[in-house]
Structure 1
Amino acid sequence: MTMMRPSSSTRTRCAQCINGGRLFSTTTPSRTEQSSNTFPPPPPRAGYARLTNRGLISVTGVDSTSFLQGLITQNMLVTNDPNRSARHTGSYTAFLNSHGRILYDAFIYPVPETNPDEPTWLVEADRNEIPTLLKHLKKHKLRAKLKLRALDDGERSVWAAWKDHAEPRWAAYNLESPSSSPFAAFPDIAGCIDTRAPGFGSRLITPGSDDLRVHLPDENAVSGSEVELGSYTVRRMLHGVAEGQSEIIRESALPLESNMDMMRGIDFRKGCYLGQELTIRTHHTGVVRKRILPVQLYSGDEALLSAEVPVYDPKAAVGAPPSGSNIAKVGARRGRSAGKFLGGVGNIGLALCRLEMMTDITLTDEGTQFNPEQEFKVSWATEEGGDAQEVKMKAIVPLWTREFIFAGAAKTNARTRGESYGERAKAFLEQLEEEESQRRNE
């Protein structure tokens, strides 16, 4: 198996640089098009957003922890704890079906200051999926001693908060810390570090519908001001983070293809849970050939796009393809799909991409289909039966995704050939650090 090697054109970019850099050359919109665009403004470097697209389910009872343990990819217990204590922190996770496909992506939070004999957990998921998720939980409840309830509107609020200038590339917070949460000083707030991308921020659950500042007035706890949900969505897509079943397609998406391994949403050491078999087998023996990546949408003949991160331009006149549209090579005969477009805002989006076709990543020694000059497109027909529309797109591999895949390739080589992947991974990281240092001095 051939070790994946970084492209010579790769440059280190941290999450703080996502809104910087040169814009992709997209077709300049007319004034009419600009005025008709309703795209949200770019996200600030520090801020918070009320996530009205997310809902909550309460799971309360003596069996609540063991019940959830058998249904989700994350471990509800502190790893290697002989007392099998329940986690003290919230975490990212997923509910799978029996075939290992994702039903719902979710966050699970322990509710502070509840009876330890009857703990309460809050399950945060796509708001549109709350009724079906509740049915899913009730179907597996059987004789478990617990109560399930969907929270009413305004009973609690879900927030995302971030401050790029102060957060590390990877959240350093220990998910198994003995403290109740990163917000332990605020007993009425449940929360956790959002581990889906480096420095991505925090997730918080507050009582009632008041503004987040009512509960966390200290600027050290929450920075910036409130922004609209659309700006949070833009930030999420710039980081390559899919969310909800419009992007993580229900009963179709696989956990590893959805980057849940990289996002620390799966505990590969825990006991049995629904859908575990395929997930574990893929992790230990398989190769993940497709992953969700951020994509840059553009039109025209701009073939040489050199930006290393997607750049959001709310004024770019680029049509958004329907979710689930197939991605194809420009100028090639109809052949194998290069991936599927999942959703977007303006000139950025997310897509499930074949890595060895749309990126320079090499996974095996079977060769790669990647051609740096090859462009990709999505074509679709309008609902009114008009002319077919088309938009081009370029897949972007975030630095942290590249590092994660590289480390996985190194481990596979070590298992199959007895090579020491540690030295190679260390050398690669040293190279990235050197390039980062050079970039800062430019």
Structure 2
Amino acid sequence: MNATTLRDRALIRLSGEDVRGFLQGLVTADMNAPLPAWGALLTPQGKVLFDFLLWAEGDDILVDCEADQADALVRRLTLYRLRRRIVIAREPALAVHWAPGGDAGVADPRLPGLGRRWLAPAEEGDAAAAWRTHRLALGVTEGAAELGQDRTLWLEANARELGGVSFTKGCYVGQENTARMHHRAKVSRRLVVLRTGEDPGEAANVHYPALGLAVARLRVEAILASAAILPEWLKDAIAADAEA
């Protein structure tokens, strides 16, 4: 049996009084919509600090995030908690699982082609490398290294095209700049996956030499002249930005 556990992911559990309401005023996803959903916690200027998937388990919310960023995300959420009766802590009993197809779990909310995802106790093996290869081939970026923590505006991370932001939910941290960019109907720079060979160039946020790929934040004009992977879900948006 192929490995399904994503060992580079961790889960944070939020439980207590009105957890959805608490997160509704913080994250980019609409917590009143069906979950799971992809979203982020931004700076007040609209730049990405953490991206994650949000799952519901009864009245609790589970945050599916990078394992290396989990403790920092717990601390950040705790700062916003103030006097609310909410417990925010890592969930050690469950792990994140992924498969490129099949019937297990649910389709990734960003893009059906990303495969299936579910939460269950960890199993032997690690699917992280297979997941990364699959995801990058579809031009999808995630995580602090690829997104550029506190450097990239959320819409530059293709959040609009991948369903990572609600424009009808009301206020959240970073909402003002994110909404302004959306209503301007133009994103000047975007994160893309580049076919690089050996040299990713100075623009790359992160380089995967074994895959011959890199993630870079480029101006739209440069993307059209580059060796970027431009899947159907992104191609029309970049063409519209170039014309705007």
Say whether residues 1:144 and 2:84 are aligned partners.
yes
Structure-2 residue corresponding to 1:75? 30
- d(CA) in 2 for partners of 1:227, 1:123: 20
Instruction: Give how far 1:123 is off.
Output: 0.6
Q: How much has 1:353 moved relative to structure 2? A: 2.1
Aligned-pair identity (%):
29
Distance in 2, Cα, partners of 1:295 & 1:197: 19
Partner of 2:39: 93
Displacement, 1:291?
A: 1.2
For 1:400, the equivalent position in structure 2 comes to: 233
Indicate how the Cα distance of structure 1 residues 237 and 110 shifts in structure 2: closer, same or farther if over 3 A, else same: same
Partner Cα separation in structure 1 for residue 113 and residue 26 of structure 2: 28
1:282 is displaced (CA, Å) by 0.2
From the superposition, tell whether residues 297 and 156 of structure 1 become closer, same or farther in structure 2 (CA, over 3 Å).
same
The reply on whether 1:349 has 2:182 as its aligned counterpart is: no
Q: How many Å apart are 1:160 and its aligned residue?
A: 1.6
Q: Secondary structure at the match of 2:160?
A: coil
SS in structure 2 of the partner of residue 292 of structure 1? strand
| 1:135 equivalenced with 2:75 (yes/no) | yes
Aligned partner of 1:251 in structure 2 is: 150
The normalised TM-score by structure 2 is: 0.89
Conserved 8 A contact 1:247-1:342: yes
| Map 1:284-323 → 2, pairs under 5 A | 284-285=183-184, 287-298=186-197, 318=198, 321=200
Answer yes or no: is 1:209 the counterpart of 2:122.
yes
Question: C-alpha deviations, 1:374-421, integer Å up to 9, x for none?
Answer: xx7xxxxxxxxxxxxxxxxx22322221133456789x7xxxxxxxxx
1:272 partnered with 2:171: yes
2:17 matched to which residue of 1? 62
Secondary structure in 1 matching 2:214:
strand
Code of the aligned partner of 1:240: G
Structure 2 unaligned spans of 5+: none
Note the residue ranges of structure 1 that are not aligned, 5 or more in a row. Answer: 1-46, 79-86, 167-181, 184-190, 212-225, 299-317, 328-339, 360-369, 371-375, 377-393, 413-442
Alignment TM-score, normalising by the size of structure 1: 0.51
Question: Higher helix fraction: Structure 1 or Structure 2?
Answer: 2
Conserved in 1, the CA contact under 8 Å of 2:188 and 2:241? no
Local SS of the residue matching 2:140: coil
Report Cα offsets for 1:270-316 as digits up to 9, x if no partner.
11101100000000015212111121123xxxxxxxxxxxxxxxxxx
Distance 1:147 1:409 in 2: 46
Question: When you count strand as a share of all residues, which structure comes out higher?
Answer: 2
Residue 52 in 1 paired to residue 52 in 2? no
Tell whether 2:223 aligns with 1:358: yes
Q: Structure 1 pair 205/101, CA: closer, same or farther in 2 (3 Å)?
A: same
* Separation in structure 1 between the aligned mates of residue 174 and residue 162 of structure 2, nearest angstrom: 18
Aligned residue pair count: 242
- The CA RMSD over aligned residues, in Å, is 2.4
1:120-269 → structure 2 map (5 Å cutoff): 120-152=60-92, 155-163=93-101, 192-206=106-120, 208-210=121-123, 228-269=127-168
CA contact (8 A) 2:138 2:229 kept: no
1:342 is displaced (CA, Å) by: 2.6
Q: Which has the larger radius of gyration?
A: 1
Match of 2:52 among 95, 106, 120: 106
AA partner of residue 281 (structure 1):
R
Aligned partner letter, 1:204: W
- Between the aligned partners of 1:341 and 1:141, the Cα distance in structure 2 is 32
**Aligned-pair CA distance for 1:231:** 2.1
- The CA distance in 2 between the partners of 1:343 and 1:196, in whole Å, is 23
Q: In the alignment, residue 158 of structure 2 is paired with which amino acid?
A: N
Does structure 2 retain, via aligned residues, the 8 Å contact 1:58–1:150? yes
1:356 positional shift:
0.7
Secondary structure of 1:133 counterpart: helix
Assess if the C-alpha contact under 8 Å between 2:192 and 2:217 holds in 1: yes
